[in-house]
A and B are shown apart, each in its own frame.
Chain A
Amino acid sequence: MMDFWSKSHFLQAPKTAYIVDSIAGEDSSAIAYSYQQVDSMIDTFINEQIKPDVYTGKKIIAIEANNQLGCLVAYLASLRLGYLVIFIDANLSTEQKNNLISEYAVDLVYQPKKTLIRHNNNKHGQTQKIAPQLALLLSTSGSTGSPKMVKLSYQNLSANCQSICQFLPIQQTDSVITTLPMHYSFGLSVIHTHLFRHSTLILSDFGVMEKSFWQLFKQYQVSCFYGVPFIYEMLQRLNYKRLPLKQVRFFAQAGGKMREAQIHHLHGFLTDKQQLFIMYGQTEATARIAYLEPAKLPAKAHCIGQAIPNGQLKLINENDLAADTTARTSGELCYRGDNVFCGYAHSSADLAELETIDWLKTGDIATRDTDGDYCIIGRTKRFIKIVGKRINLDEIQSWLDKRYPAICPVGKDDLLILTRCKRFESEIESEIESEIESELAEQLALFLGCHPRYIKQVQIPEMPINTNGKIDFMQLNKIALQALENQDANG
């Protein structure tokens, strides 16, 4: 099977397949290129910018990601050369970007519409040791600029792309528009799979709340739609009935659990010819892990279904033993497949070796029903998702400790709650307190790159402590949610 990035794969594409750059024209209009034209752009980029015959050896290239053709060309060129790509969120501050570039001793930096920057001018060989199979480093931490990265191999990319193409009915005649950033594993998997099927791919950074998005959508008769729960929330608010969705053949959702009511609402608008795929995954599994057969909706809207083709799922208990799933017990969901990542990296020192991980522990607690479908019921790890972005509560804790001690973060998806014990009784002091509170929410929202409305603060009588003297997070979470409910009811 041919890799989606290879030259021969691009040359074999039918002339009716296009890669559309949404703002390429002089008046920022869209320009459609054939796969063959994009192939020659990749050649040009390799020969005139990267110059691998002068600067030999495996290089690390940082790509500041956006959904424009230049970025895709830089990415595919790097894969063809067997380089290691590190995607950088364009929304990070210059300081955060430079920090990542130096932590990983990056050789080349690609920024949209700029000349390639060369850091290490060493012409021969590689300046540091990088495992030959290593293809990509992706961040899991939203927009905090943390150097912790997921290591993915060429085989990981290839395997996950092929598995996804076995269950999603993507065809050559399909047309897809980007709705997610390229540096996000879900967004990237959409690009991989549609390139693999030679379908028409519209690269755009417009959001579903923008007119330009829907103009492109109509113009190219988009037939496959992907989104995280928040994107579907926006579609629902815009009203499915009023949107030009008739020619869409399937909708697919991943990037966090979508509320059942939302799934039912969307399902209610589908015609007989339209399908909805509820999917589950993690960056640690390149992107995709499981999906629910569309025919099982709407009855099984609470499930994530079963493992993708060529993958396996199982549940384990606290002692790492396979849980007895016949007894409807819950356990930590584990996944095995060729798309399981090769370990984490924190700096360039971690790039020489690849870890072999047999079963990936997802950190999610699940149950399995008699049909073999899995259902997520909780999490072992302290993280929540805000608008689809994973937010590590421990990372927030260390951020808080440096600035506002004695505050503990808990919460659920799309709701981060900062808890603190009640300290001040007088009104004047409460006023000072509320000023600090609004400043804190503002700063934290900036750090996390999210809207402050997802951050709430509550005061509680005392911190619940468990038997080993640590904060009981499960209990604290319950108290915080309850306190927030009371607070909302009172005012």
Chain B
Amino acid sequence: MFEDKLKQAFVNALSIEENEVTAELAYSQHPKWDSTAHMVLIAELESSFDIMLDTDDIIDMSSYQKAGEIIQKYIA
């Protein structure tokens, strides 16, 4: 459930295919994950998990795996 929601947020925000969302997916490694997409991603994550991300966490969210770890912290 958590994984699906997280994956879907990435698919929507970066406008990529579901199979592209892997643990290795990282900021500025994938051509579509640039600063604009990052802004969209933050908004998408905040609305799907109903949370408000902190400055440091937004900057730290440099990969799909990292995003999972950060979101877990908020919903735990």
Closest to A211 in B: B59
Q: Are B62 and A451 in contact (CB under 8 A)?
A: no
Q: Roughly how many angstroms separate A210 CA and B38 CA in the complex, as a whole number?
A: 10
Q: Are B55 and A243 in contact (CB under 8 A)?
A: yes
B40 proximity list for chain A (CB < 8 A)? 451, 453
Q: Are B36 and A451 in contact (CB under 8 A)?
A: yes
CB under 8 Å from chain B, chain A span 191-239:
207-211, 214, 230, 233-234, 237-239
CB under 8 Å from chain A, chain B span 5-58:
15, 27-28, 34-40, 42, 54-56, 58
Q: In the complex, how many angstroms separate the beta carbon of B50 from the nearest chain A beta carbon?
A: 17
Q: In the complex, how many angstroms separate the beta carbon of B7 from the nearest chain A beta carbon?
A: 19
Q: Is residue A450 within 8 Å, beta carbon to beta carbon, of the partner chain? A: yes
Q: Is residue A452 within 8 Å, beta carbon to beta carbon, of the partner chain? A: yes
Tally of contact residues, B, Cβ under 8 A: 18
A243 proximity list for chain B (CB < 8 A)? 55
Q: Roughly how many angstroms separate A237 CA and B15 CA in the complex, as a whole number?
A: 21
Q: Roughly how many angstroms separate A233 CA and B54 CA in the complex, as a whole number?
A: 16
Closest to B31 in A: A91
User: Given A442-B15, A451-B15, are A208 and B35 also a contact pair (CB < 8 Å)?
Assistant: yes
Q: Are A214 and B59 in contact (CB under 8 A)?
A: yes
Q: Are B62 and A237 in contact (CB under 8 A)?
A: no
Q: Roughly how many angstroms separate A442 CA and B32 CA in the complex, as a whole number?
A: 12
Cross-interface CB contact of B28 among A210, A230, A238, A453, cutoff 8 Å = A210
A453 proximity list for chain B (CB < 8 A)? 40
Q: Is residue A402 within 8 Å, beta carbon to beta carbon, of the partner chain? A: no
- Mark each residue of chain A from 235 to 252: 1 if its CB lies under 8 Å from any CB of chain B, else 0: 001110011000000000
Q: In the complex, how many angstroms separate the beta carbon of A460 from the nearest chain B beta carbon?
A: 26
Q: In the complex, how many angstroms separate the beta carbon of A364 from the nearest chain B beta carbon?
A: 25
Q: Are A237 and B39 in contact (CB under 8 A)?
A: yes
User: Given A234-B35, A234-B39, A451-B37, are A209 and B58 also a contact pair (CB < 8 Å)?
Assistant: yes
User: Given A233-B39, A237-B42, are A210 and B27 also a contact pair (CB < 8 Å)?
Assistant: yes
Q: In the complex, how many angstroms separate the beta carbon of B72 from the nearest chain A beta carbon?
A: 19
B59 proximity list for chain A (CB < 8 A)? 209-211, 214, 238
Q: Are A387 and B15 in contact (CB under 8 A)?
A: no
Closest to B38 in A: A209
Q: Are A211 and B35 in contact (CB under 8 A)?
A: no
Q: Are A237 and B58 in contact (CB under 8 A)?
A: yes
B54 proximity list for chain A (CB < 8 A)? 242
Cross-interface CB contact of B34 among A207, A214, A239, cutoff 8 Å = A207
Cross-interface CB contact of A211 among B34, B37, B62, cutoff 8 Å = B62
Q: In the complex, how many angstroms separate the beta carbon of B19 from the nearest chain A beta carbon?
A: 17
Q: Roughly how many angstroms separate A210 CA and B60 CA in the complex, as a whole number?
A: 7
Residue from A208, A210, A243, A451 having most chain B Cβ neighbours under 10 A: A451
Closest to B32 in A: A451
Closest to B35 in A: A207
Q: In the complex, how many angstroms separate the beta carbon of A464 from the nearest chain B beta carbon?
A: 32
Closest to A206 in B: B28
A233 proximity list for chain B (CB < 8 A)? 39
Q: Roughly how many angstroms separate A3 CA and B30 CA in the complex, as a whole number?
A: 40
B62 proximity list for chain A (CB < 8 A)? 210-211
Q: In the complex, how many angstroms separate the beta carbon of A443 from the nearest chain B beta carbon?
A: 12
Closest to B36 in A: A451
Q: Are A387 and B55 in contact (CB under 8 A)?
A: no
B34 proximity list for chain A (CB < 8 A)? 207
Q: In the complex, how many angstroms separate the beta carbon of A483 from the nearest chain B beta carbon?
A: 23
Q: Are B35 and A209 in contact (CB under 8 A)?
A: yes
Q: In the complex, how many angstroms separate the beta carbon of A146 from the nearest chain B beta carbon?
A: 21
Q: Roughly how many angstroms separate A17 CA and B54 CA in the complex, as a whole number?
A: 35
A207 proximity list for chain B (CB < 8 A)? 28, 34-35, 38
A238 proximity list for chain B (CB < 8 A)? 55, 58-59
B39 proximity list for chain A (CB < 8 A)? 209, 233-234, 237
B58 proximity list for chain A (CB < 8 A)? 209, 237-238
Cross-interface CB contact of B36 among A214, A239, A450, cutoff 8 Å = A450
Q: Roughly how many angstroms separate A209 CA and B35 CA in the complex, as a whole number?
A: 6
A234 proximity list for chain B (CB < 8 A)? 35, 39
Q: Roughly how many angstroms separate A207 CA and B62 CA in the complex, as a whole number?
A: 12
Q: Are A242 and B55 in contact (CB under 8 A)?
A: yes
Q: Roughly how many angstroms separate A243 CA and B36 CA in the complex, as a whole number?
A: 19
What 5 A-B pairs come out closest when comparing CB atoms?
Answer: A242-B55, A207-B35, A451-B36, A209-B38, A209-B35
8 intermolecular pairs with C-beta atoms under 8 Å apart: A208-B35, A209-B59, A234-B35, A237-B58, A242-B55, A451-B15, A451-B36, A451-B37
Given A211-B59, A234-B35, list of 5 further CB < 8 A pairs? A207-B28, A209-B59, A237-B42, A238-B58, A451-B40
List the interface of chain B (C-beta within 8 A of A): 15, 27-28, 34-40, 42, 54-56, 58-60, 62
